[in-house]
Amino acid sequence: MATLQGEELAEELAEGSGVVAVEGEEDALQGTPSATLEVIKKCMLREASFRRPAKGKGGGGGGRGGPRKKGGGGKKKAKAATAVDGEGDSMKVETFRWEGHENVLFIVFPNKIALRNGLTRLSVFLEDPVEAGTIMAANDVRPGKYVAASYTGHNFRPRDYAKFAAKAREESKALEPEEEELWGILLKEFPGFEGGGGECWGCIATARGLNKGEVANTLLHESMHGLFYAHSELRAVTWKFWDEVMDASEKSLWLHFLSSIGYNSSNEEVCVNEMLAYLTTEKELLRKYSIKPLEQVDGRGGVLTMERLQEQFVKYVEGHIPFPKPHLRGQYCAFKA
């Protein structure tokens, strides 16, 4: 495994794509750099890159090829972005193994539009509350119709992608260019995944050009999904909390919360996986939800709130979080690094 740490990898990221190959190594995994979350954060904070529109196809200000604009009144300032011709290095999808958890692959797209085009249909297929199990039309990949189209991070097992691609082939629906590129990355990084193996392989897909808050929230939340996939003991403990510790009222509260933010609450694995991510990396969102609880009493005679559920869950799983624990300076996580 090619391992670069701290400023050494940051220098590589400043100079190029950040994908550093090891000379003489033929195994695909050997050419993928291993990086900490702090280093991956630096990659994501680099400006986004977009393909320059062909002449006569419109300028770079407002369409798919243009940079994303910040909201707000008055004078608008464009988010830093670079328009490039063709397929230069700045348009490459970058990959990193999470240092210490090398079964987890981070996949960083050059901009949020490429991320949306590459992952929305997969997310709908895996967890949409209405259309899970179906392959949506490519021209439906847009915010507003599907909540997944607005995600800044996606998580999945490689074998999940194999199921998605097989379903698309079965229905004679072609993969989009970004989806094809992702398929190629998975073939390189996880040989044999298309056969359905890899219970402990996990992928996190995100993008460059996010703001600092988006990057920090996305990285920590998605890293917990990575641990859920990569570490069977943590996965088993999380399931045990769901199966044996939570009572019916607590499950009802959790399912209601997930449904309210667009998840398929009938998918038990989604519910358990998201429980690990939200209850260990979120504070403000859960606090807002707890302001208007369901006004019910749990099976232990206490008033049921999301904050109370979070406290119980963190205490239950904290001894099973593998090292290195997820950590970003200045960002909340339930576990000390």
Look at residue 211 and give its three-state secondary structure. Answer: coil
pLDDT by residue for the chain (337 residues), tens digit each? 444 444 444 444 444 433 333 333 334 455 699 999 999 999 999 999 987 665 554 433 333 233 333 333 444 444 556 655 555 567 899 999 999 999 999 999 999 999 999 999 999 999 999 999 999 998 888 878 899 999 999 999 999 999 999 999 999 999 999 999 999 999 999 999 988 777 899 999 999 999 999 999 999 999 999 999 999 999 999 999 999 999 999 999 999 999 988 899 999 999 999 999 999 999 888 887 765 544 454 555 456 788 889 999 999 999 999 999 999 988 899 988 7
pLDDT computed for residue 24 by the predictor: 31
pLDDT computed for residue 210 by the predictor: 94
pLDDT computed for residue 84 by the predictor: 54
